[in-house]
Structure 1
Amino acid sequence: MKMMGFTRRQWLTLVVISIADFCNAICVSLQAPFYPQEAERKGASATEYGLVFGVFELVVFIVSPLYGQHLNKIGVKLMFNGGIYTTGICAILFGLLDKVEGHYPFIILSFVIRIIEAMGNAAFLTASFAIIAKEFPDNVATTFASLETFFGLGLIVGPTVGGALYQIGGYTTPFAVLGTALFCAAILTGIVLPKHESGRDHAIGSSIFRVLKIPGVLLSAFSIIVTSMSIGFLQATLEPHLRQFGLSPIILGLMFVINGGTYAIIAPLWGWLCDRTCPPKVVTVMGTILVAIAFALIGPAPFVNTKTLLWLTILGLVIHGLGIAAQLVASFTDALRTSM
């Protein structure tokens, strides 16, 4: 494999970003198993706490192009490290929300913290994509998919360990422990990550609007939006959907692991296919079909003609993990290749 020929600098970059991806995913996925229940105790409706989840992806969508446009001025490493620090601090602050009394103060602070956390996450992602494209120009899809494996592992650890810590110490404990872990990872990346100079020849580049006029990039962007919507939808609704089974917090956390675990395992395979044999657009189409099948089973859809079954939900989550891995890996790869 070409990865065996990586330089020391490339391996160091890969290891550091992998650790950051892992810890970042933990904090992003941490809220899903028990935040809806806490929000309902404060008097929040499903729409309100659903928007708390949804605003995260919305902010990432809005600010990521702005970060990309000013990446050269800010600096790749500064944006990368600043994003991780911000996400870690916000994760810790999110764990203090149970101390807030009153419906509206709770929801408003949830939105504020989640928005700032999304801004930090967008900075981290934008910088990491730039680093991957610069350091691994011949293995973009494979490298991106390998890093996404660690992100998927973080999606596994976040709900699982979070559920266990919630059962042991209550609402604040998982946020304090795992948010601190991300903060420590930020310190590590600040010390270890090699300095990545932004090329001055790219300082004046195409605007986001010009790039989005390219049909291939627009299609990839739409695919990423749809995939993010499917992930956010499950984060907000899976826990209420599973209450009928009376699962413990630990088992409930494991349910949130299924699609993330599948994502972590299968993402490198999709990346290899995109780099070697299969056009990314074909992989994207395969991913959308898999995600559609997954939601039909999780619901279940009326034409499935059955009541909600735990094994059917698990099967749907596995297929969802397969689908989002295909869509994200292929869409990011295709957008980068097409725009270049």
Structure 2
Amino acid sequence: MGAWKTFSKSCCRCACTTRFTRRQWMTLFVFSLAYLFSACVTSLQAPFYPAEAERKGASATEYGLVFGIFQLVCFLISPVYGKYLNKFGAKKIFNMGIFTSGISCFFFGFLDRVEGHFLFIFLSFLIRIFEAIGSTAFVTAAFTIIAGEFPDSVATTFASLETLYGVGLIIGPSLGGALYEVGGFTAPFAFVGLCLISVALSTPWLLPNGKSMDGGDCKDTEGFGIFSILKLPAVQLAAVNIWMATNSLGFLSATLEPHLRQFNFSVLEVGLIFMLTGASYAISAPIWGKLMDKWIHPKYVIVHGALLIMASHVLIGPAPFLPFETYFPMSCIGLILHGIGIGACQVAAFILALKESIANGFPDNLNLYSVVSGMWASFLALGLFMGPSLGGVLLDQAGYRLGSLYPFIAAVVVVCK
């Protein structure tokens, strides 16, 4: 705790007296576009893909696994990116990831033309796997570059970019729903995919070169990796917290639209409802980041975030131990609390893992940033795999209200830990 206070005071002095350079502004500009459109890829299909999959004969379990396979691949390959990122160069990995995600998103939009239940699900899995390979490369490289380019304001910068991701989550379902109603299944994926491809093509010229961008000597990575930092109790807490938050987010991505069908909303209206979590996430993330840069230890932010996520699942269903049926205004309040809780947990986990690793003797360099980024992305992906996968099964077997106890109990575990 003493090491954290020392770091926080130093960070505050630097952050308050240092202006961003032209290089940093250019990096922020590129990352803002990448985060925005990548979040759209994640969220735009939520209002209409479950219904489209059901028209093809798929069950909630099957399309839940389509959501989840993306994250399983991310979980498996994130440690590989984290360990070897510095060898190949963060800029190259970043650009490759954005381009792969864009191409995959574009082709996903033609799945509605596939005839037959099996082929539709098979191609959905295949394209999502390639999309996951690209997304993991982008996310891991982005976190590494942030830590290297903004050493005096890591929490604030990371939280600000998470805000852009939140804006993408806001725009994604609404944009997806609007484009779906205007141009059908293909339109949302074609538009966002082409935007990502455009970002990838411009990155070699817009993103500056430098130590945090280019490959280098990876000798310092020998002797430690993700399992080394996971020996630290604080990093274990961060990892479990990342899993819990994204598990909750993934659960909602696969189950919220079927749960809301009782109200007979249009696809566009469902997209607007998804905005509640995205908007509260986008607004709260930079506030949490500023608080951690100046006043509050990330552990306390994690506890508050987990409590908010617990409260959200009590309200959205509502929880099966409440003696009344789904009440839409209360569900909306729950979605807002959910976004605020996710914002707290996401930002706090990365900062806690990075700073506690440094405080416990790991080298404060790009190699550590790469390993922490890989750990963060890996457990994020594990949560986003388990959430929709188990969510689809629970929706089929037990219904939404009883199934929502799963993310609720996961949040209880984090609070207790």
In the superposition, the TM-score normalised over structure 2's length comes to 0.79
Counterpart among 111, 118, 122 of residue 97 in structure 1: 111
Is 1:38 aligned with 2:55? no
Q: Deviations over 1:105-140 (max 9, x none)?
A: 111111111121111111101000000110111111
Is 1:302 aligned with 2:320? yes
Aligned equivalents of 1:227, 1:105: Cα separation in 2: 32
Aligned equivalents of 1:188, 1:203: Cα separation in 2: 32
- How far has the Cα of 1:3 moved from its partner? 8.2
Aligned equivalents of 1:288, 1:29: Cα separation in 2: 22
Partner of 1:197: 214
Give matches, 1:257-296, under 5 Å: 257-296=275-314
**AA of the residue aligned to 2:355:** R
- How far has the Cα of 1:65 moved from its partner? 1.1
Aligned equivalents of 1:167, 1:5: Cα separation in 2: 45
- How far has the Cα of 1:213 moved from its partner? 1.3
**AA of the residue aligned to 1:238:** L
- How far has the Cα of 1:197 moved from its partner? 2.7
Gaps of 5+ in 1: none
Is 1:9 aligned with 2:15? no
Aligned equivalents of 2:154, 2:76: Cα separation in 1: 24
Counterpart among 83, 89, 111 of residue 97 in structure 2: 83
Aligned equivalents of 2:219, 2:24: Cα separation in 1: 21
Aligned equivalents of 1:95, 1:286: Cα separation in 2: 39
Counterpart among 220, 237, 252 of residue 219 in structure 1: 237
Whose RCO is larger (CA < 8 A, sep 6+)? 2
**AA of the residue aligned to 2:306:** T
Aligned equivalents of 1:271, 1:282: Cα separation in 2: 13
Q: Deviations over 1:8-47 (max 9, x none)?
A: 1111111111111001111111111100001001111101
**8 Å Cα contact 2:305-2:342 kept in structure 1:** yes
Is 1:178 aligned with 2:195? no
- How far has the Cα of 1:2 moved from its partner? 3.3
1:155 is paired with a residue of what secondary structure?
Answer: helix
Give matches, 1:94-173, under 5 Å: 94-173=108-187
Counterpart among 307, 311, 328 of residue 329 in structure 2: 311
**8 Å Cα contact 1:261-1:321 kept in structure 2:** yes
**8 Å Cα contact 2:87-2:218 kept in structure 1:** no
**AA of the residue aligned to 1:339:** S
**AA of the residue aligned to 1:77:** K
Give matches, 1:317-336, under 5 Å: 317-336=335-354
1:266 is paired with a residue of what secondary structure?
Answer: helix
Aligned equivalents of 2:314, 2:18: Cα separation in 1: 41
**8 Å Cα contact 1:57-1:228 kept in structure 2:** no
- How far has the Cα of 1:204 moved from its partner? 2.5
Aligned equivalents of 1:210, 1:295: Cα separation in 2: 34
**AA of the residue aligned to 1:197:** D
Give the fraction of aligned pairs with identical amino acids, expressed as a percent. 55
Gaps of 5+ in 2: 1-14, 359-417
Q: Deviations over 1:181-235 (max 9, x none)?
A: 1111222223200122345366434122112111111110111111111111111
**AA of the residue aligned to 1:12:** M
**AA of the residue aligned to 2:97:** G
Aligned equivalents of 1:53, 1:2: Cα separation in 2: 41
How many pairs align? 340
Partner of 1:230: 248
Aligned equivalents of 1:305, 1:68: Cα separation in 2: 47
Distance 1:201 1:96, change over 3 A: closer
Partner of 1:246: 264
Q: Deviations over 1:265-301 (max 9, x none)?
A: 1100000111111100110011011001101111101
**8 Å Cα contact 1:27-1:182 kept in structure 2:** no
Aligned equivalents of 2:166, 2:329: Cα separation in 1: 22
Aligned equivalents of 1:202, 1:319: Cα separation in 2: 44
Counterpart among 64, 69, 76 of residue 55 in structure 1: 69
Distance 1:129 1:121, change over 3 A: same
**AA of the residue aligned to 2:221:** I
